[in-house]
Structure 1
């Protein structure tokens, strides 16, 4: 029995399309503000709040670390209480955290708010995934998740444009307006999520306090491999810009062009890529190809001192690997998770994102900027090895799940 069922089962088919639209609208509402936040927040914390870079880094790292720990219990809460209510609450909590950023003027309040932000964002992601699992049939979840990812990227791109305007104005009022926009986006998202059909856990399906995902070693390995591959995330936002500034003669506008290649490609092709992934075998193959594509991207980025067009080619290869990884990872994360524990399993799988955000910039700065061409090649080899390791890890997880089902 599926753990999450519609309160009125006969209405499931009628609500399915409306549910996807509402999820997409909610995703877009908060991603516009997030795009603006990602572009301009570091400048705000440094110029307006007056925090030194080390304190900004510590605060953001601590926030994602706390969020990583909170993701599983909040996902479990979504399984126990129903994901809609938990998602709405966490969307409101994120809005409160974002609005609070505009009020902080010293390190300790900044640290507290970043922790609230990390907890709310990570838990919201897990609850949304549980909502998707409850609203969409298993065969359609990967394509639906791809549609949401494309929507997310569209919102981030629009928000990044607004963030650019704030950077151009470079006034406290402009930065404060961005935080207000981001907070309003999460409140709109909460209102939209509240309109979704009610999902509730099947009676007694999820024992209170039983976080079975923490004892699922095969799923933990799959999550670890995905986390390694997610270290691509800070490449375009942190590593490549620093590489361009220190190792190439490329004009500064190339950074914006690389981000445009990334967001435009995801908008245009992510859903198409995801439609090709329908089984765990296809998902494992997609992740393997993603690792190879990322290896190729790293090799091309290493050539960029010889000509900045290599940067554009590298960005194109990287985003193709990103889309292959996303499609495979979504199918794997849903397909290996028990239906009655999607919240806690998605919360655990989502810790890979927090790890990449927390450790990626520091680790990759040392590896790539310190190692140069060899650093790029070592990073690419890591991606390729992780991609190749996914298929045997998924087979182990499937065998383990089959044995558990037989014992039950």
Structure 2
């Protein structure tokens, strides 16, 4: 595969990808090292770290809508630049954190900045890219994100190997630099005029009254429960229920990262409108169900090699479903949002990601680890049901949008 096929076209698409790459490298390093930095270097108890992160991401999920609304009304480019700088400052604050209060303040600012930045960048993308090109560009951005996270994780691994305070601080400095570069790149994008203010009779946060869009967001959040699988549930499953070697966990994560980096763009090519988006999501439900079933089979592998092979097959099915679900959900999120309120609608839709990351571990750990095969099948059935409900929910949310392109 040539480099040209892995990079978006020149102009705003490529600048958006460069901004994504800049902050994802730093984030990859941060994610690998942050927990140990907070506990070993700052000296916080793990319970306080967990509480702080839960509060922070809960606050971030709530902040997405008002910050997205701010992007609509003040202009998404300027808002995105300010939020990237805010996030850089919050990570810099973690460099100086020596108490739980300082840690909580910095990590809350980080989560709010990240969620707001995501909404503002989505609004910026919607303004600068034609509707039929958005999902394809988001596929490029997802590939860039995974590549950056992988490179950053390698840097974080070096810091973990060194294990010194200086190494951990260097990782945080890389994250600060990444967001500063992100802000600089975003500032080079064309200016987007702010949307006119809403009429006095209209609610400022219309998305909060849009029950049909909320239903679509909730179904997507259910499908996003796949996110804690490889990072939390599967590693515990491997250790407690299979005879596979421990290193297979790293291989599964590597498979996922490489597949998304190399194949997400191709997987998104067939998604060009709401009907094809709903078809992609529906197919993703079938693949995610199959993945859950194969993960369950890994407990019955008689040898380490067999169990490892079954786990790799399950992870391959999972990432195939992930790529289809991602492509379909991007298209749905944009096409169902009013053009003049993309920021707040994308902020609301993005709250589903925060909800899946926050609630997923508490829901999936007992379901799968205690439920065993039955738990995996229940989870797979939940994925299948949510995926198949997406088409009717989308038609309910915007039936006229589908009239010219057939039924999803």
When normalised by structure 1's length, the TM-score is 0.92
CA distance in 1, matches of 2:380, 2:314: 12
**Which of 101, 116, 121 is residue 114 of structure 2 equivalent to?**
121
**Where do residues 1-400 of structure 1 align in structure 2 (5 Å cutoff)?**
17-204=10-197, 210-305=204-299, 306=301, 307-399=307-399
CA distance in 2, matches of 1:137, 1:371: 46
- Contact 1:84 / 1:127 at 8 angstroms: preserved in 2? yes
1:303 deviates by 1.6
- Contact 1:63 / 1:119 at 8 angstroms: preserved in 2? yes
1:399 deviates by 3.2
CA distance in 2, matches of 1:209, 1:157: 42
1:400 deviates by 8.2
- Contact 1:201 / 1:340 at 8 angstroms: preserved in 2? no
1:204 deviates by 4.2
1:203 deviates by 3.9
CA distance in 2, matches of 1:103, 1:381: 46
Give unmatched runs, 5+ long, in structure 2: 1-8, 302-306, 403-408
1:250 deviates by 2.0
- Contact 1:62 / 1:114 at 8 angstroms: preserved in 2? no
Aligned to 1:406: none
Specify the SS of the correspondent of 2:97: coil
Specify the SS of the correspondent of 1:250: coil
- Contact 1:206 / 1:340 at 8 angstroms: preserved in 2? no
- Contact 2:274 / 2:401 at 8 angstroms: preserved in 1? no
CA distance in 1, matches of 2:245, 2:94: 33
Aligned length: 387
Give unmatched runs, 5+ long, in structure 1: 1-15, 403-408
CA distance in 2, matches of 1:212, 1:355: 20
CA distance in 2, matches of 1:357, 1:206: 36
Specify the SS of the correspondent of 1:308: helix
Once the two structures are superposed, what CA deviation does each residue of 1:367-399 show, in whole Å capped at 9, x if it has no partner?
Answer: 111222211111111111110110000000013
1:115 deviates by 1.1
Specify the SS of the correspondent of 1:249: coil
CA distance in 1, matches of 2:199, 2:39: 45
CA distance in 1, matches of 2:237, 2:105: 32
Specify the SS of the correspondent of 1:201: coil
CA distance in 2, matches of 1:248, 1:119: 39
When normalised by structure 2's length, the TM-score is 0.92
- Contact 1:79 / 1:206 at 8 angstroms: preserved in 2? no
CA distance in 1, matches of 2:137, 2:220: 20
Once the two structures are superposed, what CA deviation does each residue of 1:41-89 show, in whole Å capped at 9, x if it has no partner?
Answer: 1121222222222222111111110001110000000000000010001
- Contact 2:72 / 2:195 at 8 angstroms: preserved in 1? no
- Contact 1:291 / 1:388 at 8 angstroms: preserved in 2? yes
1:248 deviates by 2.1
CA distance in 2, matches of 1:282, 1:174: 47
Q: 1:69 to 1:400 in 2, by over 3 A?
A: farther
CA distance in 2, matches of 1:250, 1:99: 40
More moved, 205-214 vs 355-364: 205-214
